[in-house]
Amino acid sequence: MGSWSPYLLAGHDVYGKTIGIVGMGKIGEAVARRAKGFGMEILYHNRSQKHDAEKELGAVYSSFEELVAKSDYVVSLAPLTSETRNLFTADVFAK
């Protein structure tokens, strides 16, 4: 029989990691607030820059390519439209 480990389901330490948020609407800003509370660096990509979120949360506007390349975690909160369909492909993450 295997041994029990108390850290088996402990998850990952996200402090100091970078989160990339694609779609910085109300939900994106809520995710960014929580990420800030965990000490994460916040990158975001959106149709337009969110200057208030940049000031309040320290979020940094990035190109989609830069966001994917620099992020430890990527969260997609963009609506499914013809512009966002197939935005995330294996090729995007292979770079």
pLDDT tens string 8-55? 778 889 999 999 999 999 999 999 999 999 999 999 999 999 999 999
pLDDT classification of 5: cutoffs 50, 70, 90? confident
Residue 95 has pLDDT above 80, yes or no: no
Assess if residue 92 is contained within a domain: no
25-29, long-range: CB within 8 Å, 24+ apart, which pairs?
A: 25/77, 27/77, 28/75, 28/77, 29/53, 29/57
Assess if residue 22 is contained within a domain: yes
Phi, psi of 22, deg, nearest 5? -100, 110
**Residue-number span of the structural domain to which 55 is assigned:** 18-80
Q: Which CATH number does the domain housing residue 59 bear?
A: 3.40.50.720
Assess if residue 47 is contained within a domain: yes
Assess if residue 8 is contained within a domain: no
Give the single-character DSSP code of 92: H
Assess if residue 3 is contained within a domain: no
Cα–Cα dist 68/21, whole Å: 9
Assess if residue 4 is contained within a domain: no
Domain count for the chain:
1
Assess if residue 75 is contained within a domain: yes
Contact present, 81 and 28 (Cβ < 8 Å): no
Which single residue is written with the structure tokens 């013809």? 82
Q: Kindly report the pTM of this predicted structure.
A: 0.87
Assess if residue 39 is contained within a domain: yes
